[in-house]
């Protein structure tokens, strides 16, 4: 492995590079403005000839940019260059939202893709597009379907400290989570050429309030009062309500047994405890 091209460079891709970037001799990442991504990363402006050349030359592609209303932002512009390029891994970061609602039942990667929201349907189309491109290019495609992401700067501890934490309750509603460092571990495993789709979630689906209450306990404060979903929903954004529209428990057996990932944080408790030990949610002088 000599080069990695990140199509999109948000929370997950940047954490992967921070943790595992030394696995590669050269690192490339996209930018809309051309602004630098860091001393070790070569920034490529979206739409530039340099990006098209890099798409054909990169050994590994990590695609994390979400599709918009017009579809995937990179498949059309870069598809031919990728198809004619190297044969290393193509890794696409998707979401468990493609499954839609299972009524709270456990599901795995064999479940039908029943997303009904426009955002979910766009994800299904993008997954299929990258898989088709992989077949055309003769390179392995790993689709990593991510649960709710948390990690440094994005967690219940920080929400409590900022006064943004809420404890919304709804009978039987479950959510699936994953620490960003475990996402980075799944990406690293996929770099070696795994073919297929993998759910990237931790071992324990849990209610929305569970991590908030645990974070409050770590911080030694009272958790926010419980608010029934029916009372909270009218004040939510459309996107926030969409997360509550689907209720499912997602299995991660393939992640551990086939991709070979050993989770650093098997549940939100280990993840939040580690973040607490690192100072999340507390003044720096405490």
Span 173-195, mean pLDDT?
97
Q: Is residue 94 part of a domain?
A: yes
- Per DSSP, helices labelled H in the chain are 11-20, 49-57, 75-83, 118-137, 156-162, 180-190, 209-219, 229-232, 238-245, 253-257, 268-277
**Cα(198)–Cα(220) distance, rounded to whole angstroms?**
37
Q: Find the CATH number of the domain harbouring 187.
A: 3.40.50.720
Q: Is residue 168 part of a domain?
A: no
Q: What is the per-residue pLDDT for 34?
A: 67
Banded model confidence at residue 283, pLDDT cuts 50, 70, 90: low
Percent residues over pLDDT 70 in the chain: 98
Our CA angle for 263, 177, 154, nearest 5°, is 100
Q: Is residue 132 part of a domain?
A: yes
Q: Is residue 241 part of a domain?
A: no
Span 144-152, mean pLDDT?
98
Q: Is residue 212 part of a domain?
A: no
Banded model confidence at residue 285, pLDDT cuts 50, 70, 90: very low
Report whether 29 contacts 37 (CB < 8 A). Answer: yes
Beta strands 226-228; 167-169: pairing state = parallel
Into how many domains does the chain fold? Answer: 1
Q: Is residue 130 part of a domain?
A: yes
Does position 181 have pLDDT exceeding 70, yes or no? yes
Does position 234 have pLDDT exceeding 90, yes or no? yes
| 47-74 tens-digit pLDDT | 999 999 999 999 999 999 999 999 999 9
Residue 67 domain boundaries? 3-150+176-203+248-264
Q: Is residue 243 part of a domain?
A: no
Q: Is residue 7 part of a domain?
A: yes
Span 209-229, mean pLDDT?
97
């Amino acid at each position: 492995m000599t080069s990695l091209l990140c199509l999109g460079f948000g929370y997950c891709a940047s954490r992967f590079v921070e943790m595992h970037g030394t696995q590669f001799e050269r690192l490339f990442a996209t930018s809309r403005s051309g602004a630098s991504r860091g001393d070790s990363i070569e920034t490529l402006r979206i739409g530039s000839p340099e990006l098209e050349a890099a798409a054909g030359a990169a050994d590994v592609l990590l695609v994390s940019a979400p599709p918009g209303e017009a579809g995937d932002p990179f498949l059309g512009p870069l598809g031919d260059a990728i198809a004619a390029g190297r044969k290393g891994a193509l890794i696409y970061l998707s979401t468990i939202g493609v499954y839609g609602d299972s009524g709270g039942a456990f599901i795995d990667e064999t479940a039908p893709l029943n997303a009904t929201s426009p955002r979910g349907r766009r994800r299904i189309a993008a997954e299929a597009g990258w898989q088709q491109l992989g077949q055309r290019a003769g390179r392995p495609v790993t689709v990593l379907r991510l649960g709710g992401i948390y990690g440094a700067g994005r967690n219940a501890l920080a929400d409590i400290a900022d006064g943004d934490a809420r404890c919304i309750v709804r009978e039987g509603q479950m959510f699936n989570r994953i620490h960003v460092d475990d996402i980075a571990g799944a990406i690293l495993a996929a770099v070696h050429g795994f073919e297929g789709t993998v759910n990237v979630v931790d071992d324990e689906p849990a209610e929305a309030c569970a991590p908030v209450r645990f974070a409050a306990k770590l911080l030694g404060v009272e958790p926010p009062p419980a608010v029934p979903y029916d009372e909270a929903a009218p004040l939510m954004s459309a996107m926030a309500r969409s997360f509550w529209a689907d209720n499912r428990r997602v299995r991660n057996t393939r992640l551990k047994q086939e991709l070979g990932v050993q989770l650093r944080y098997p549940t939100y408790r280990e993840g939040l405890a580690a973040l607490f030990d690192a100072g999340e949610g507390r003044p720096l002088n405490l």
